[in-house]
Amino acid sequence: MNAPAPRPASWPVPTLNAREGALWIEDLPLAEIAARFGTPTYVYSKAALEAAFGAWQQALAGRRALVCYAVKANSNLGILSVFARLGAGFDIVSGGELARVLAAGGRADKVVFSGVGKTRAEMRQALEAGIRCFNVESAAELEHLNAVAGELDQRAPIALRVNPDVDPKTHPYISTGLKGNKFGVAFADALALYRRAAALPNLRISGVACHIGSQLLDPAPMAEAAQKLRDLVDRLAAEGIVLEHIDLGGGLGIRYRDETPPAVADYLAPLLAVFDGRSEELCFEPGRSLVGNAGLLLTRIEYLKPGETKNFAIVDAAMNDLARPALYDAWHEVVEVNPHAGAAVEYDIVGPICESGDFLARARTLAVTEGDLLAILSAGAYGMTMSSNYNTRPRAAEVIVDGDQAHAVRQRETVAELFAAERTLP
């Protein structure tokens, strides 16, 4: 007899629910998705995507503002098309991401191009597409962009990404606004660089940008950075450099385990207060907060392997599918898809890759048998986009659930596809 599934209130994925002793997402059983599409498979909820974006829109209602989804969090065309239809802009960090946005129906004039290493080819591609703005991250980039724009007889719209040296109190790998980070230009150099940009004939100054890090759980550091930006904007205006927009980045965190991230409106309130009564458009670049808890990774247990000091549940997903645990020692909640009665045992959940770092979760108490399905939650952000083909493993399928319908938005790769572009020596 099936045991009842855990209470939905315990799950960070909002559209996950328990019915008939099993896990469903929206109105579809996860077991049915596994039977149809196989495992491992990323599963996303369209309703959760729409609700997450709606929270940003509602919090910014009445403001002159644009929400640009950070494509690096999850760049699947199906995900991008959902946000494009909702009127989102997009924050990109490569020419490939720009191509994805356009293929998914996104508007180029709502695209901001961030990143420290834009190539001349990418600059040309973005200028020809007619993007909204380049977030410039170095003095050298200013010169390169001016040259490329001149070759096209254009004026490139730019904002300087300013590094405010504010500690975001997050994981060091996803902190981006400190002096030692590679991103942005030093706050002390910003005024001189804006003067230089104003003197270059093929650039048009549009705004200023700032992004201090990801998985932020406290709005105070970002509010501090916003105040620094406001002061810089006023100093620029005094010199006749008037900005059209202020880009405050993204970074709002989500709950993976026991975090208590603020609601979008509560996170934005102190930032918006800094700019009350001003005319500049405000731009935001959320990624994780839009997709992280809209998705999960569905995987099947291949073997249970008891040991002297640890027990292992070996699943068909691996670190190539979800790198965050190996990379950041990140926590993802793991839930039985079809819970059943039996003795609960503590397991490390590991994949088949030939690395000791190939784990998805450690020390999880589960009542499972071989062949059971597991849902690895909060996997919508930086899951598929960071996946690889290590050990010549085809990457997972991706599915978006809309009510009781499942749509394949990425077919599972085949091994033959992985080496189709390779050649043996003659």
Instruction: For residues 177 and 172, give the distance between their C-alpha atoms in angstroms, rounded to a whole number.
Output: 11
Return the percent helix, strand and coil in the chain, to nearest 5. Answer: 35, 25, 40
> Active-site residue among 133, 210, 283, 354?
354
Which residue type occupies 181? N
Centre a 10 Å sphere on the Cβ of residue 267 and count the other Cβ atoms it contains: 26
Strand extents, DSSP E, 30-132: 41-45, 65-70, 89-92, 111-113
Instruction: For residues 12 and 258, give the distance between their C-alpha atoms in angstroms, rounded to a whole number.
Output: 10
Is residue 231 helix, strand or coil? helix
354 is catalytic: yes
CB 249 within 8 A of CB 212: yes
Q: What angle do CA 80, 81, 82 make, to 5 degrees?
A: 90
Instruction: For residues 111 and 90, give the distance between their C-alpha atoms in angstroms, rounded to a whole number.
Output: 5
Give the bridge partners for 65, in sequence order. Answer: 282
CB 248 within 8 A of CB 222: yes
Cβ burial of 189 (10 Å; 0-12, 13-18, 19+) is middle
CB 210 within 8 A of CB 164: yes
Cβ burial of 128 (10 Å; 0-12, 13-18, 19+) is exposed
CB 136 within 8 A of CB 209: no
Which residue type occupies 203? L
Give the residue numbers annotated as catalytic, written as ranges: 354
